[in-house]
Structure 1
Amino acid sequence: MQVQLETLNQLERRLSISVPREEITEQVNARLKHVAKTAKIAGFRPGKAPMKIVAQNYGFRIQEEVLGETVEVSFGQAVQEQKLRVAGYPRFEPKDAAEETGDFQFSATFEVYPEVVIGDLAAAQIEKPVLELSDAEVDKTVDILRRQRTRFERVERAAADGDRVIVDFKGSIDGVLFDGGTAENHAFLLGKGQMLPGFEAGVIGMKEDETKSVSVDFPADYHGADVAGKTAVFEITVKNVAAAILPEVDAEFAKSLGIVDGDVEKMRAEVRGNLEREVRFRLKARAKENVMTALIAAAPLDLPKALVQLEIGRLAEGALADLKARGIDPKYVPFSPEMFEAQAQRRVHLGLALAELVKGSGLEAKAEQVKAVIEDLAQNYEDPSEVVAWYFEDRERLAGPESMALEDNVVEFVLAKAQVTEKGVSFEELMGQQG
C-alpha cells in the first residue's frame, strides 16, 4: 500500500492511497470460491456451478464489498501510520474507477483535530457572583408560595388591579367582527398583562353584569397580522369579579407545604434550606459559565467544520424533539440549522479546550466526587437514598454526575489560577424574578 499525504489548509488533509490490484483480486477470488460451495444457480446443483458462472452471478457484488472494506481498512492503517487524529467523517473519492488493471487508488479528504494550547490562565479576569441569603429572601419566597395558593372570592364591587374577572366580549374593526376577537367566560387577572392594556383599562371599574364598549389599539408588531396596528371596539360584559385571598402563614399553610405538624418555624427552615441549595446551584452555574468563557478565550483555535456541523445537527434534533414533546408541530416554528451555529461553535471549542485542560492537569472526576454530586442532587427529592441508589443501578446513569464533577474540578482549577473578582448579585436577578 502506498500513501501520500497533502495539507490542504490549516485543518484539512487529503490522503491518496494506492492498493495493489493483486490484493483486491486475491480477496475477490477467495470469496467467490467460498460462495461457490453453496451457490444456488439455476441449472446447477448447489455448489456445482462452474466458477465462471458463479463470477457472473456474484462477482460484481463481491468486488464491491471487497473494495468497500479495502477503503475502510487501508484508510485506518494510513491514518495510524501518519499519526493523524481525524475529526468528523472523511470524504472518499475513487480514482480510475473504470479501469480493471493497475492498482486500486482512492483519496480521502478530511479534517484533523487542531492542536490545543491553553494560554496563561493567571492573566484571565473572571467575575464570581456572590449572594448572602437573608431573612428578606425567605420572606419573599414564602410570599410567592402564598400567591401560588391564592383563591378567589366573588365580590360585589368594581373590578380593580389584582382581581380575577370573567368576561364575554366581541371585538370588531370598522363594524366587522374579526377572528379571535370573540370569547365567552374568559377569565384573566387584572394588572398582570394577560390582555392588551386598553382592554384591561376598560374593564377596571366595571361591576358584575355591566356591559360597555371599549376602544383598544393593537400594537404595530402584534402577532396577529390582520389586526396589527389597528383599533378595535370590544363590547365587554363582566360576568364575575373575584378578589384574591392569600392564605395566612399559619399551621394549615405549613401543612400544605409538607410540614406534617404544621410548625411554621420548621417550614421557614425548610424554605431557607431549599433556597440555599438553589442559590448555591445558580451561583455555581454562573461562575462556571464565566470560567468556560475565560477558558475559550485562553485557547484560541481553528474549529473543524465537520465537528461544528455534527453539533449543529445534534442541537437541531434536540430542538425538534423538544417541540414534539410539548405537542408543537415543528412546521409551525420555522428555524434553520444556522440558528444553532454560534452555540455549536462554542460547544465544540469548549469541548476541545476542556479535554486538553483535563488531560494536561489531571482533572478527571474521582469516584467520591461523583458520589458527592449525586447526593447533592438527591436532596431535592423526598427520599434521597432512593435517588442515589437509582443512579448507581446503571453505569450509564453516572455519565451526567461524572460530567458535573469534572466541570467542578475545572472551575476550581481555573478560579485558583485566574484573577477573580467577586460581584454581588441581587436575589431577584439570580432567581430570574421581577420585582
Structure 2
Amino acid sequence: MDVTVENLEGLNRKITLALPWAGITAEVDKKLSQAQRKAKVQGFRPGKAPLKMVEAMHGADIRNEVLNDAVVKAFYEVVEAQKLRVAGFPRFNEVENQDDETTFKIDAQFEVFPTIVVGDLSAQEIEKFTTEVSDAEVDKTIDILRQQRTRYNHVEREAQKTDRVIIDFEGKIDGELFEGGASQNYPFVLGQGQMLLEFEAGVEGLKEGETKDVEVNFPEDYQGTQVAGKTAVFTITLKNVSEAALPEVNEEFAKQLGVEDGDVAKMRDEVKKNVSREVNRRVAEKTKQAVMDALLAVTEFDVPQALIQDEVARMMEDARQNFINQGFDAAQLPQLPAEMFAEQATRRVKLGLILAQLVEENQLQPTDDEVRDIVAEFAESYEDPAEVIEWYMNDAERRQGPTALATEGKAVAFVLSQAKVADKALSFDEVMGNTAA
C-alpha cells in the first residue's frame, strides 16, 4: 500500500492512501459467498440462490462496507506507524484522479494534537483567596435559615412592608382589560420586589376589605410586550394581611435543622461546619480560576478545531437538557447558536490539554488516599460518610469524578508552588454573593 503524508496549515494533516483493488475484491467475493449461504430469496431454497442474484441484491452494500473497513484500517495503521496523535475524526474523500486501475486512492484529512510546552510560571502573580467564617457569619446564616421558615400570622391593621398580603386585582389600559392583568386571591410579600414599585406602594397602607385604584407605568423593557411602556390602572382589593413571625433560635429550631437532641450549641457548630465547607469550596474555585488564567497566559498553542466543535456540541446538549429539566417542552426549544458556546468551549479544551501535559510532565497523578480524601470531604454532609466513601472507592467508574478533582487539585497546588502567590482575604459576603448556602 502506497502512503503519502502531507503537513497542511497549522495542525491539519493529509494522508493519501492507495489501496490495492485485488485485496478489496477478494474480500468482497468472500462476503458475497457468505451472504449467498444465508440468503433467503423467494423461489429458492435457503442458501441456493444464484450468486449473481445475491450480488444484485447485496453487492453494493457489501462493497461499500468492505471499502470503508479497508480505508479505516489502513488509515489507523499509517497513524500508528507514523506516531500521529489524531484529534477528532478524519474526513475521507475519494481522489478525483484515479490514474492506476490496480489501486483505489483516497485522502484522509484530519488534525493532530498540538505539542504543548507549559510556559514559565515563576513570573506569574496569582491571587490565592481566603475567607474567615466567624460567629458573625454563623449568625447571619442562622438568620437566613429563620427567614426561610417564616410563618405569617393574620393581623387587623394597615398593610406594611414585610407583610404577606392576599389581593384581587384587575388592570386596564385605556379602559380595556389586558391579558394577564387580573387575578384573584393573589399572595405576595410587600417590599420584596415581587410586583412593580407603584403597584406595591398602592397596596401598602390598605386594610382588609378596602379597594383602591392604582396607576402603574410599565417600563419600556418590561417582559410583557403588550404592556411595555404603557400606563395601566389597577383596581386592587385587599383581602388579607399577615405579618411575618420568625422562629426563635431554641431547642425546637435546632431539631428542625437536624440536631436530634435540640442542642443549640451543636446546631451552631453544625451550621459553621456546613458554611465553612461551602466557603472553602467557593474560595478554592476562585483560586483555581486564577491558576487557570495563569496557565493560559503562559502557554500558547494551536487548538484542534475538531475538539472545540465536540465541546460546543456537548455544551449545547447540556444547555438543552437543562431547559428540559426545568420543564420546557423539548419540541418547542429553539436551536441555540453554536457561537454562544465557542469562547467557553475553546477555553475548556485549551485547559484540558494544558492540564493533561502538566500532570504527565510532573507526575501529578493522585494516589488512592488522595482520592479518598476528596470523597471524604463531600461525604461529611451525608448521614453515613463511611458508606458513601466505600460506594465511590469500590467502583472504578464512580471513582472517576473524585479522581479528576484530586488531579486538578494537585495541578493547582503545583502551579501555586511555581508562581508568585499573593494571599487575598475576601469578605464572607463577597464569597457568598450576599447569600448563605
Does TM, normalized by the shorter one, top 0.5?
A: yes
Letter aligned with residue 301 of structure 1? F
- 2:297 is matched with 297
Q: How large is the Cα RMSD of the aligned pairs?
A: 2.0
Where do 5+ consecutive residues of structure 2 fail to align? none
Letter aligned with residue 376 of structure 2? E
Letter aligned with residue 4 of structure 2? Q
Residues 184/50 of structure 1: CA separation in 2 closer, same or farther (3 Å cut): closer
With structure 2 as the length reference, what TM-score do the two structures score?
0.94
Taking the aligned partners of 2:393 and 2:362, their CA distance within structure 1 comes to: 27
Residues 195/40 of structure 1: CA separation in 2 closer, same or farther (3 Å cut): closer
Q: Superposition pairs for residues 21-420 of structure 1, below 5 Å?
A: 21-41=21-41, 46-47=46-47, 51-52=51-52, 54-96=54-96, 101-330=101-330, 331=332, 335-420=336-421
Q: How many Å apart are 1:362 and its aligned residue?
A: 0.5
Q: How many Å apart are 1:113 and its aligned residue?
A: 0.9
The one-character-per-residue Cα deviations of 1:189-243 (angstroms, maximum 9, x if unpaired) are 1111110111111111111111101111111111111111111111111111111
Residues 43/145 of structure 1: CA separation in 2 closer, same or farther (3 Å cut): closer
SS at match of 2:122: helix
With structure 1 as the length reference, what TM-score do the two structures score?
0.95
The one-character-per-residue Cα deviations of 1:153-204 (angstroms, maximum 9, x if unpaired) are 1111111111111111001111111111101111111111110111111111
Letter aligned with residue 417 of structure 2? A
The one-character-per-residue Cα deviations of 1:18-55 (angstroms, maximum 9, x if unpaired) are 01122212222333344444545566555555655554
Taking the aligned partners of 1:100 and 1:35, their CA distance within structure 2 comes to: 30
Taking the aligned partners of 2:197 and 2:39, their CA distance within structure 1 comes to: 81
Residues 200/39 of structure 1: CA separation in 2 closer, same or farther (3 Å cut): closer
Moved over 6 A (4+): 97-100
The one-character-per-residue Cα deviations of 1:309-364 (angstroms, maximum 9, x if unpaired) are 11111011111111111211253566322211111111111111011101111011
SS at match of 2:372: helix
Residues 243/5 of structure 1: CA separation in 2 closer, same or farther (3 Å cut): same
Taking the aligned partners of 1:396 and 1:434, their CA distance within structure 2 comes to: 35
Where do 5+ consecutive residues of structure 1 fail to align? none
Residues 363/284 of structure 1: CA separation in 2 closer, same or farther (3 Å cut): same
The one-character-per-residue Cα deviations of 1:359-387 (angstroms, maximum 9, x if unpaired) are 11101121111111111110011221222
Taking the aligned partners of 2:48 and 2:186, their CA distance within structure 1 comes to: 83
Q: Is the Cα contact below 8 Å between 2:159 and 2:203 reproduced in 1? A: yes
Taking the aligned partners of 1:390 and 1:141, their CA distance within structure 2 comes to: 32
How many residues in Structure 1 have an aligned counterpart in Structure 2? 435
Q: How many Å apart are 1:391 and its aligned residue?
A: 1.6
Taking the aligned partners of 1:275 and 1:319, their CA distance within structure 2 comes to: 29
Taking the aligned partners of 1:135 and 1:214, their CA distance within structure 2 comes to: 45
Q: Is the Cα contact below 8 Å between 2:98 and 2:104 reproduced in 1? A: no
Residues 160/52 of structure 1: CA separation in 2 closer, same or farther (3 Å cut): closer
Taking the aligned partners of 1:213 and 1:52, their CA distance within structure 2 comes to: 89
SS at match of 1:267: helix
SS at match of 1:121: coil
